[in-house]
Amino acid sequence: MAKILIFNATPLAMETRLREAGSPSYEELLQGSIGRHFPRGTPIDYFSLRVADGERFPQGLGIADFDGVWISGSPFNVYRLDQPSVREQIDLAREIWTGGVPTFGSCWGLQLMTAALGGTVRLNPNGREIGVARRLWLTDSGRAAPMFRDKPPAFDALCTHEDEVETLPAGATVLASNDVSGVQAATIAKGRRSFWGVQYHPEFPFSTVAAIISTRVERHLDEGLARSPAEVAEVVADFRAIDAAPGRKDLAWKHGLGRDVLDPTARTIEFRNWFETQVQPFAARR
């Protein structure tokens, strides 16, 4: 049985707000992203650790007990070492890397491992990217990478972030970019150590993006992303409607959406590839 650690980097209070606004839990997001690609009989054991709130392993359990780790998104900024738990999360990410357990990082997960291994992260000078990350294109390395097997060479993805990777650590390779962020996906490797990271959120459904937007209305207005609360509310309503009925052609046309973001199987294929090529072989070697 493959055992996966959910490194939950979002405080409970914030995740509760998102769930109240219609998002699944982070545990449900990962289980759904992986589970939709494998038969129900595939044995996978998930263990969630709310690292953002200072939760640590119970006695007798540690990194070595897992075959894979997913590092979730987070509201923190990795360069703000004064923020609660940031230094502790960096230390734990470094411990995971040292332990050699295959790891996948979404958004904050990519930024966190970058900082843990000597790279740098900054506030994106191009501004916030939220809703749909447009026109991501695979580099030459990305086209050949296992992460993007069966993924088109250019695609859109659901996202929310204000920070970006500025410089990657040694052993890293950029796999995808777009006009907003030069590092939309990367791998870091050393010997048998493996980290896959993306700046977007392949685990997100439209309901989660809608929930995030709905809880940050004033911020989006201040940043010029909308001109009124009514405009924000319209986007939220549309995204919730898309989540309930992905076949709505009117909304797909209105927002310029294609199969890469509307089809949950296509949207989460990075997790399938990670589980098949990284987690399962690691579990088999144990």
**50: domain range?**
2-204+263-285
Report in angstroms the alpha-carbon separations of 8 from 71, 166, 199, 251, 275.
6, 24, 16, 32, 18
Average pLDDT over residues 98-110: 97
Average pLDDT over residues 241-248: 96
**What is the reported pLDDT for 40?**
77
> Which residues are the active-site residues?
107, 201, 203
Going by pLDDT thresholds of 50, 70 and 90, the confidence category of residue 104 is very high
Identify whether residues 193 and 233 lie together within a single domain: no
Identify whether residues 121 and 222 lie together within a single domain: no
Identify whether residues 53 and 133 lie together within a single domain: yes
Q: 193-198 and 103-106 as β-strands: parallel, antiparallel, unpaired?
A: parallel
Cα–Cα nearest to 150, from 208, 209, 207, 202 = 202
Average pLDDT over residues 218-227: 89
Identify whether residues 197 and 212 lie together within a single domain: no
Identify whether residues 225 and 126 lie together within a single domain: no
Going by pLDDT thresholds of 50, 70 and 90, the confidence category of residue 225 is confident
pLDDT in tens, 177-212: 999 999 999 999 999 899 999 999 999 999 999 999
Report in angstroms the alpha-carbon separations of 55 from 9, 49, 112.
10, 6, 17
**What is the reported pLDDT for 41?**
73
pLDDT in tens, 144-170: 999 999 999 999 999 999 999 999 999
CATH number reported for the structural domain that contains residue 89 in this entry = 3.40.50.880
Identify whether residues 173 and 199 lie together within a single domain: yes
Report how many domains make up the chain: 2
The runs of H, that is alpha helices, within 199-228 are: 206-214, 217-222
What lies within 8 Å, CB to CB, of 22 at 6+ separation is: 207, 210, 211, 240
Length of the chain: 286
Identify whether residues 195 and 213 lie together within a single domain: no
Identify whether residues 233 and 127 lie together within a single domain: no
Identify whether residues 129 and 235 lie together within a single domain: no
Identify whether residues 51 and 79 lie together within a single domain: yes
pLDDT in tens, 23-52: 999 999 999 999 999 977 788 999 999 999
pTM of the model: 0.95
Identify whether residues 144 and 195 lie together within a single domain: yes
What lies within 8 Å, CB to CB, of 245 at 6+ separation is: none
Identify whether residues 129 and 143 lie together within a single domain: yes
**What is the reported pLDDT for 286?**
77
